[in-house]
Amino acid sequence: MSLFQLKPESKRYVESDGPIRYLDPGHIDRPISMPRVQIAIMAAFVLVGAIIAWQLYNNIDDAVFGAAERKQQEIDANLARDIAFDAPVISSLVYLDDNTIRQTFTDAGYAMHEYSDPADYPNGGFESARMPADMNYDEAVALFDQGIASLDAVEASKLLKGMWMYSVDRTEYLDMRVRYVDFASGSLDAAIDAAMMQQGLSADTMLAENGSGVDEVGNTFKAGTLDIDGVIYQWRVSAVPLSDMYGISGLPENAVYVGVRLTA
């Protein structure tokens, strides 16, 4: 027999009735127990696993709910900024040419971003946006050029608070407009009244017929005429919910998009 040949382990049997032989079950009848050291090690692994699971839960909870809360706080902080509303009174600009209007804005200290193509205004006119006074100019312009509709609520609340857009078109007749977002008034009617007050438009100058209401595209408006040095101009102040203009989730539901127009 080879020295390396293993001798088969003998099986223990217990004889029972007749020639039937049964394996001895004694070795599996013993109580199963784990050494205390192994129990302690297992408990330690369970504790470590519980700690890791708790940390993962907290991280996920913070990523989902904490991020949303921080985003809302940032939006609220953007909208709480104390920025004076300094849109121009457009009735004071009707006799000025384009370059003089530009210089008037510069003299007022406005950080303007002219975004129109001169080719679109062969007879005179331009479009320009006043960037918020407390924002970095390049950052504000980058957000504006990206497109307001493509911004998230944090970016939009930062840009739209304190920004207004001015346009003048002399193609067929004089058409001046100022547009902005009103976060303070809380309703369409209140936003229109605030715009009229800021522009010096009195309710006494409203049209007797069709001087207020809702137009065919859903704008709530007030309209009238204004006599400036013997020239009659038509004015119109319109308002729609900001959400109708830009589908930006997270901005206040009562934010109002306002447009002031003066034509002659």
What's the gap between Cα 103 and its chain centre? 33
Residue range 71-108, pLDDT digits in tens: 999 999 999 999 988 999 999 999 999 999 999 999 99
Contacts of residue 47, defined as CB under 8 A and 6 or more positions apart, other chains included, come to none
Is the model's pLDDT at 22 over the cut of 60? no
Is the model's pLDDT at 216 over the cut of 80? yes
In this structure, are residues 243 and 258 in contact, taking their beta carbons and an 8 Å threshold? no
Order of all β-strands in the sheet with 125-130: 112-114, 125-130, 164-169, 175-182, 256-263, 231-241, 220-228, 212-214
Higher pLDDT, 2 or 190: 190
Residue range 231-255, pLDDT digits in tens: 999 999 999 999 999 989 999 999 9
Contacts of residue 16, defined as CB under 8 A and 6 or more positions apart, other chains included, come to 22
Is the model's pLDDT at 49 over the cut of 80? no
CA atoms within 13 A on the CB side of 72: 7
In this structure, are residues 235 and 225 in contact, taking their beta carbons and an 8 Å threshold? yes
Average pLDDT value for the chain: 87
Mean pLDDT lowest among 67-71, 140-144, 218-222, 236-240 = 67-71
Higher pLDDT, 43 or 26: 43
